[in-house]
Amino acid sequence: MDWRAFEISLALAFWTLAVLVPLSTLIARALAWRRFPGRGLVEALVALPLVLPPTVLGFYLLESFSADSLLGGFYQSVTGELLAFSFQGLLLASVIFNLPFAVQPIQRSFEAIQPNIREAAWVSGLSNWSTFWRIELPLAWPGFVSALALTFAHTLGEFGVVLMVGGNIAGETRTAAIAIYDRVQAFDNAAAAQMSAVLLLLSIVAISVVNLTARRQRRSRG
Amino acid sequence: MRPEPDSRRTGPRYTPSRRHLLISAAVVASAAALCGTPARAAESPLVAAASSLQFALPEIVHLFERETGRSVRVTFGSSGNLMRQIIQGAPFELFLSADESYTRALAARGLAPGEGKIFAQGRLVLFAASGSALKVDADMTGVGAALGAGKLRRFSIANPEHAPYGMRAREVLRHKGLWEKIKSRLLLGENVSQAAQFAATPGADGGLIAYSIAITPNFAKRGRSALIPSAWHAPLNQTMLLLNPAEETARAFHSFVGSAEAQAILARYGFTIPSPQ
């Protein structure tokens, strides 16, 4: 059993959430309530990783991470390190391929908030910021729980993009999903079976969390 | 007395839900802080190794760790794929290739301070799983007969585009005049380890795989194999190359692979050891 790989998967999942939750909140809120030019385009771009083959995403990311590309070159000139085959590169990829899993549930739950509730808050003298904290967030929390669970599970499970961009480097980019593939190739089925069982369990927990919050949300809405 | 408030009208409860949210945020933040990003500098050097070394190399690494107290981290793959990753900047310090053309290409691109060194020679075997009806012989008459009778459905080799054992398997099949007929029946492994994996499954009738994999007890018990004459293909020169980022530990491991102890392990896994020049 490759515990280091699980550590990397968990670190990747938590960092992805740490970056993605604030980012998705901004995007989801704008998509739910603002009408701006190019809104449809933004919505389509956010959904794109859902339908894009992981190898296509992996190919473009790998290209843009290389030292002679704009992004990869900029990163290297600032940090002195290469973005491809590094944990940081993996994190950036993870944020991109998880965008729809985080933004969409949050956006749906913002959209479900009646406009008159927010208007009532403003009329009562609440600032935009306190309206957000006291009214919007508490009403939208089931969307956040879904986003957390889906992003977490999806980060743990993503394979194609991680293999292409990360390159199966022990202690750096070898996540649990990659380690399972690696163990199968080494005919170490016992380790592969153990790690698969852990990932299966985590996925069941994640999907239960999503279903339970969805049910609670339905019940509370009546 | 006031009537009980209608839960429908008041909507979701506010306080617990906000607490819930703050708690999850706190959990995420603290866990992220605890995990940290994996540090690169403090860890042992990265070695890229051909899949044919999947079983012999861990033993060599183990011995190296015991004798020096230092360690290396190995990534296995097809030599061509690993070469591509090295060109794209993957932080490997040492490359153990199954074919010398790849190490030569890397040296020519200025990605290595010196030249590659041949440390062993690989061999191919014809393998069929216990359940397969394929006749396993070094002359490959069984494969030819099964192919002629339309009884060969799936035959596994490593991808000849980027895996040296796959290229040599193609050369062997061409040498025997079987290539054109067998082409449409091939299962292509991403590397020779996966090709062996495929060959050992009930879905495949057999395959041409690395002797160094077929010889391991765990694999040998899954079927029968026959050693293919090395004259039928270009040599599988296992070549090691120190890359530009190589530091002391990688250099020490490089010389250790050439040591008598490591060479004895390689010989045990069916590699032919080159005679000292």
Please report the ipTM that was assigned to this predicted complex: 0.82
Chain A, 167 to 206: residues with Cβ < 8 Å from chain B are 167-172, 174, 182, 184-187
Domain assignment present for residue B25? The answer is no
Domain count, chain B: 2
Judge whether A129 is closer than 8 Å to chain B, CB to CB.
no
Q: How far is B18 from chain A (nearest CA, A)?
A: 5
Higher pLDDT, B86 or B6: B86
> What confidence score (pLDDT) does residue B2 get?
46
> What confidence score (pLDDT) does residue A137 get?
93
CATH code of residue B197:
3.40.190.10
Higher pLDDT, B140 or B16: B140
CB contact under 8 A, A170 and B218: no
Q: If you measure CA to CA, which chain B residue comes closest to A63? A: B88
Region B68-88: what's the mean pLDDT?
95
Judge whether A21 is closer than 8 Å to chain B, CB to CB.
yes
Same domain for B167 and B242: no
CB contact under 8 A, B91 and A139: no
Q: How far is A172 from chain B (nearest CA, A)?
A: 6
Confidence class for position B36, pLDDT limits 50, 70, 90: low
Same domain for B219 and B256: no
Question: Which of A15, A85, A217 has the CB atom closest to B32's CB atom?
Answer: A15
pLDDT digits (tens, 9 = 90+) for B82-134: 999 999 999 999 999 999 999 999 999 999 999 999 999 999 999 999 999 99
> What confidence score (pLDDT) does residue B112 get?
97
Residue with tokens 């061509």: B80
Same domain for B208 and B153: yes
Same domain for B198 and B223: yes
Amino acid at A164: M
CA gap A119, A130 in Å, rounded: 13
Domain assignment present for residue B155? The answer is yes
> What confidence score (pLDDT) does residue B29 get?
57
CB pairs under 8 A between A and B: 112
CA gap A79, A168 in Å, rounded: 22
CB contact under 8 A, A168 and B12: no
Residue B251, domain extent: 46-120+237-268
Domain assignment present for residue B27? The answer is no
Cβ within 8 Å of residue A93, ≥6 positions away: A57, A58, A61, A161, A162, A165, A166
Same domain for B127 and B113: no
> What confidence score (pLDDT) does residue B151 get?
92
Same domain for B214 and B197: yes
Region B180-192: what's the mean pLDDT?
95
Using the CB atoms, write b or e for A61-85: b if 16+ within 10 Å. bbebbbeebeebbebbeeeeebbbb
From the candidates B9, B21, B243, which should be mutated to test the interface with A, based on the most A CB atoms within 10 A?
A: B21
> What confidence score (pLDDT) does residue A218 get?
75
Region B203-231: what's the mean pLDDT?
95
Q: Which long-range contacts (CB under 8 A, 24 or more apart) does B56-59 make?
A: B56/B212, B56/B265, B56/B266, B56/B268, B56/B269, B56/B271, B57/B96, B59/B265
> What confidence score (pLDDT) does residue B6 get?
43
pLDDT digits (tens, 9 = 90+) for A18-64: 999 999 999 999 999 999 999 999 999 999 999 999 999 999 999 99
Closest by CA position to A143, among listed A29, A42, A14: A29
Please give the structure tokens belonging to residue B86. Answer: 């090295």
Domain assignment present for residue B225? The answer is yes
Same domain for B110 and B130: no
User: Which pairing describes strands B94-97 and B46-50: parallel, antiparallel, or unpaired?
Assistant: parallel
Same domain for B133 and B81: no
Q: Residue B80: its chain A contacts at CB < 8 A? A: none
Domain assignment present for residue B243? The answer is yes
Region B185-197: what's the mean pLDDT?
95
Question: Which of B11, B12, B73 has the CB atom closest to A171's CB atom?
Answer: B73
Please give the structure tokens belonging to residue A146. Answer: 């879904």
Domain assignment present for residue B7? The answer is no
Kindly report the CATH class assigned to A3-221: mainly alpha
Give the mean pLDDT per block of 10 residues along chain A (222 residues). Answer: 91 96 96 93 96 94 90 92 92 97 96 92 91 92 94 93 92 94 90 95 90 80 57
CB contact under 8 A, A171 and B191: no
Same domain for B138 and B112: no
From the candidates B6, B20, B191, B198, which should be mutated to test the interface with A, based on the most A CB atoms within 10 A?
A: B20
Domain assignment present for residue B6? The answer is no
Average pLDDT, chain B: 88
Percent of chain B at pLDDT > 90 equals: 81
Q: Residue A11: its chain B contacts at CB < 8 A? A: 32, 35-38
> What confidence score (pLDDT) does residue A201 get?
94
B125 Rama sector, left if φ>0, alpha if ψ -120 to 50, beta otherwise: beta
Same domain for B256 and B215: no
Q: Residue B73: its chain A contacts at CB < 8 A? A: 169-171
Closest by CA position to A58, among listed A168, A153, A149: A168
Question: Which of B14, B74, B89 has the CB atom closest to A138's CB atom?
Answer: B14
Same domain for B167 and B154: yes
Same domain for B143 and B226: yes
Whether B207 shows a pLDDT value over 60: the answer reads yes
Assess contact for A134 and A126: CB atoms under 8 A. Answer: yes
